[in-house]
Each structure stands twice: as C-alpha cells, then as structure tokens.
Structure 1
Amino acid sequence: MGATGGSSTAGEPPDSRAEYRFPLLALATTTGVAGLLDALALTRYGVFVANQSGNLMHLGMGLAGHDPLWPASAASIGAFGFGAGIAFRVRRVCGPEHRPDPAVVQCCLALTALILWAVVDVTLDRGVPDPGRRAVLAAAGAFFMGCLGGLFVRTAGFATTITYQSGTVIKTGQRIVSWITGSGESRRKAAQGAMLGLLGLVGYVSGGFVGALASSRPIVTFALAVAALVVLMLTLRSARRPPRE
C-alpha cells in the first residue's frame, strides 16, 4: 500500500492509512506500548526488549567483561529478530485479498505474544532473576516487540518504525531541516513527515514515563498494553469491511 493508501505494489511496504481507520492514533498507540514495555523490561530485567541498539552495546561490553547481563541482551536480540521475521512473513503469506487480512493476523499475533510474555513474567520474575530466567524473560518480551514492530512499516507514505527510535530521530531531524529550507510541495511533505516523527517520539517517551511509574506493578503494565492493542484492533479497517462476494 503506497502513500495514497491504496493497494501496495510488489515489494512496497503497506501504508497504515489503508489498514487503520485512525492511523495517527494507531501510530501513537504502538509507539506508546513499545515505550511502556521497554521501560518495564529495563527496570525489572536490566535489558531492553525494544531498543536493540542498546542491547548490541550491552552485548559488546559483556564480551569485553564489563556487563554481566549480556546473555539476556543476546537473548533479546535473537528473539526480537525472530519475532520480526515471523511478522513480516505473515505480510508476505497473507496477501491483501486474503481473509483475514494481514493486519488482523498480525494484531492477533502481537496480542498472543504479549499475553505469553505476561504469563512468563508472572511465572519467572521473582525479584532479581538469575541469569537463565533473566534471559528467558528478555526473550519473551523481545519476541513480542519484534511482532509489534511489523504492525507499522509506512505511515502516510513515510517509513515508520515503532521500536527503532534512533532512526526516527534522524529522519525527523532531516525533515525539520527540509521543512525550514524547502518550498512548495516538498516543504509540505517534509512538515508532514516531521509531525509523524514527533508523534512517534512523544508516544515512545510517554510510554516510557508510564512504564517507569508502573514498574513495581507489572500486571498493571501488561493490562495497559493489552488494552492498547485491543483498541488498535478496533481501528482496523478490515474488521469493519464487508466480506467480498
């Protein structure tokens, strides 16, 4: 689905406007969930489940003997990649003409992965987990984040990331400069991209704020995330689209 919100051409990532009735709400919701649960994982497990740039740094430091939590970071990296791979495979296998639509299947996949992570957390998170439990907890969270990351690829024609906020900061800065220095249609497009980037960043920061406040009550955090994903599913266009003849 391209920038116009229509059907995607071969090899082109989907545009959220064709899948969600309120794409900006969906973008804010997904980045908020990512920040919420990354804060939970960082405060309770000591590693990231969304920010894999941070985990790669922890892994390198651990291999140098300066970070004892590196096995959990390694588990997070692997599980995140696996979850993202499954999410994007769903996109390829379930074409736009299939029922249910890829977005429906992906939302259900992410919700299932989140509930699985909550169960693992309730079972294994007992204060300060040992290295083995910490790695399992990080992997469960990162698998969910990888699945979640596949929900948004493009928003209003712009490449969009839910978990990789370093990339969002770079692109937002580029678009702000383009807006300041540009003119005409290119300036309007740059302003639109900058606003989308800022929305994603505010969503992530807001999620991190709430996640830090609720870190002592992980069940509340997971309940908030489940509720957010349910709201996201309710905004899917395909959920209200009449079946084809």
Structure 2
Amino acid sequence: MATGINYYNDRVCLNVLAGSLDNAREIYEAAEKHVEVGVLTADYPDVPSAVEDMERYMDVLEGNLSVGLGGGNPNQWRAVAEVAKTVKAHHFNQAFCAVGWTRANVGNDDCHINAMVAPSGTPGLVRVSTGPLSRECAEPADIPVKTAIAIIKEMGGNSIKFFPMGGLKCADELKAVSEACAEADFCLEPTGGITPENFREIMQIILDAGVPKIIPHVYSSIIDKQTGCTKIDEVENLLAVVKELVG
C-alpha cells in the first residue's frame, strides 16, 4: 500500500496543478497539506530537465508532488516512468499499460501510482486501451471495472484514474466505477471537467458509494488563464467543501 499521501480525515486528497514553484508553495499551504501538486513532464524538453526542476518541487512540497503526463497524453508515459527512477514523488500519473514499468523504476511500494482508464459508454465497463498505440485501435479494450482493478493491483498500481469524465457527463459510469472501487477497497481519482460548480456533486456520488480514498483532480477550471497559476482562493474553497463532506 502506498504511503505518504496526506488525506483529509483519511479519505480525500486534492490534486491540482502548479504554475510555478511559488504557486506550488501557496497551494500546499492553502490546502493544509491535503494535496498532491501536479507538475507535468510534457512541460519539459527532456527527462533530465524535468528531474532537475521536480527535485525543487519535492523540497517545497515535502514529497507531495504529482508527476503528470500532461492532459492525459499517453505519449508521455515513458517520461513519467524515467522520472520515477530518480524522483520518488508521493504520486505518479500513468497510462494503464505502463504502471508495471513505473513501479519497477520507482523501486519501492510506497509511491502511489494511478492507472488511467477511460469511460467506455457503458456503466460497469472501463476502457483500458489508453496507451499511445492501444488508444488508436479500431476495437478498444473495454473490460469490467472489477477486472481492471485486479489487473492494476497485479501491476503494482494503487488507484483508478477515471479520465476524461467530462464533468458529470458520465455520472452513471462514475457511480459504477465508484461502487467497484468501494467493493475492492481501492482508491479512485476522478479526472476531467471537474469545476468548482460540479465538484460537490461528483464527490457526493463517490462518497455515497463508499470509496475509501479519493484524489479528485481539479485542473483548468481553477487556473488563472493569464498567469497559468492555480487560484489559491479556489483551492481553499475546494478544501472547505471536502471538510463539509467528510469532516
């Protein structure tokens, strides 16, 4: 079981993006440390430059760095896996196909690695063909959520990253995924289209299903478009909602 993530009331940890090192520091303080702060490998020209910069974030965030792909881009899977060799962040985002590779590279059981699966259009089934090659296949691989969770566990993964949700567009599928995660005592990371307006409803669906640990990703909706930084007041508001729901 991965350790290090600082869940509020042992249940919820936010995941938001940092636009700068100072922004990351402010986010961490505003969330009272109940946050994994995302930095994307896609924002760097190569792995060495990503590693060098991410080490700075590791210091500021006490390890609570979320190493990201970049918009769920599976072409970044190798970069994330390579970063894992050096940067032992508490949280890694990964395409379904590369979870095992990343676990081997990180070299421990402590770091949290999610596995990106997509909505299939059918409640109870998730799309695991989210890699750079498999996502282009004419016939996608849609499998039962319970089976996907079992495979993720076998690969050394710690959670399902359900992306892209499109906010509440696939609420019925989110409910089914949540129920499966609850039954398997597995962490869920809802991602894609989550906003301050729908955050509470999305979280309520997941909490009502009994999911033990939740890492909601709230990205573009709370980023200042001019500065590229996450708005600190929005982080405070999200944490307030979390405290209301699980406090």
Which band: TM-score by shorter chain?
Answer: under 0.3
Q: TM-score, length-normalised on structure 1?
A: 0.27
**Structure with higher helix content:** 1
- Could you say which structure has the greater relative contact order, defined with CA pairs below 8 angstroms and 6 or more residues apart? 1
Q: TM-score, length-normalised on structure 2?
A: 0.27
**Structure with higher strand content:** 2
